[in-house]
Structure 1
Amino acid sequence: MPTQILIVAGALIFGLLGTVHLAYTFFTGLFSPRDAATEASMKLTHPRLTRRTTLWKAWVGFNASHSLGAILFAAVYLLLALAHMDWLREAPGLVWLAALGALAYLALAVRYWFRTPLIGIALASVCFLAAAIVLSV
């Protein structure tokens, strides 16, 4: 039971962060540059890779896909923990995979992001790591 609670908690944190990030991406200007000229330039500039998009569209798309990845990660582990906990007990490697995934997000948060996702991802990482350790003992 404590292992299940830890996995659910870690997944809920990722789901919340992903959902808020998706909402911020499409329904607020919180990810827009403070300098309006930078945003205008992003809307007119193409990456070297292709002229079929702009840096602005890529920025929005990257933020949206990042959100969807966190939401999917959360959904998979919520489903496993709530409906198929026996699978996780039989294959603790799946929980270690969640812990490694969370730690990868944590490394990104430390290097590139700001305090709120860093704290949330650190908490989720602790939950997944603790669950993996308990299942492996």
Structure 2
Amino acid sequence: MIAIYLWETGAAIISLMGLLHLKATLTTNKLSPRNEKLETDMKHDTLLLTDKLNMWKSWIGFNATHSIGAVFTGIVNFYLAVKYPSLLQSDPFIPLLTILVIGGYVWIAAKYWFHVVLTLLFIAWISFLAAWLLLLFNG
């Protein structure tokens, strides 16, 4: 049972981080650059990929979809832990994929993001990893 609680904890952290990031992206200026000229430039400069999309819209869109992906990952994992906990033990695909993806987030956070995000992601990753090891070795 502890393993399931740990899995739910990791999932809840990821979902909450995604929701907070989505809120910050869509309803605040927290992801705006401090340099107002840079934001203005981003709104007027297009991508090499297409001149129909400016850098600012790309920035907001990337952050919003990144958030939604985190929310989805967290919710799916929480749902599996609540409704189908035996699946986490019997089939390694979802647990391994989750551990690899969140581990990737931890690596990226360590390299590019700030300490609070790294700490929360690391806690979520350790929760998933510990849960899966408990499920594997304790049945």
Confirm or deny a common fold (TM above 0.5): yes
Bigger mean CA deviation after superposition, 23-32 or 127-136: 127-136
CA distance in 2, matches of 1:61, 1:7: 29
CA distance in 2, matches of 1:100, 1:130: 13
* TM-score of the pair, normalised by structure 1: 0.96
CA distance in 1, matches of 2:89, 2:132: 10
Listed one character per residue, the Cα deviations across residues 55-88 of structure 1 (whole Å, up to 9, x for unaligned) are 0000000000100000000011011001111211
- What are structure 2's unaligned runs of at least 5 residues? none
> Paired residue for 2:42?
42
The one-letter amino acid of 2:99's match is A
CA distance in 2, matches of 1:123, 1:22: 20
Where in structure 2 are the equivalents of 1:1-137 lying within 5 Å?
Answer: 1-137=1-137
Moved over 4 A (4+): none
CA distance in 1, matches of 2:62, 2:94: 26
Aligned residues: 137
Q: CA deviation at 1:100?
A: 1.0
- What are structure 1's unaligned runs of at least 5 residues? none
SS in 1 for 2:49: coil
* TM-score of the pair, normalised by structure 2: 0.95
CA distance in 2, matches of 1:44, 1:90: 52
Q: CA deviation at 1:25?
A: 0.2
CA distance in 1, matches of 2:130, 2:96: 10
**Root-mean-square deviation (CA), in Å?**
0.9
CA distance in 1, matches of 2:3, 2:93: 14
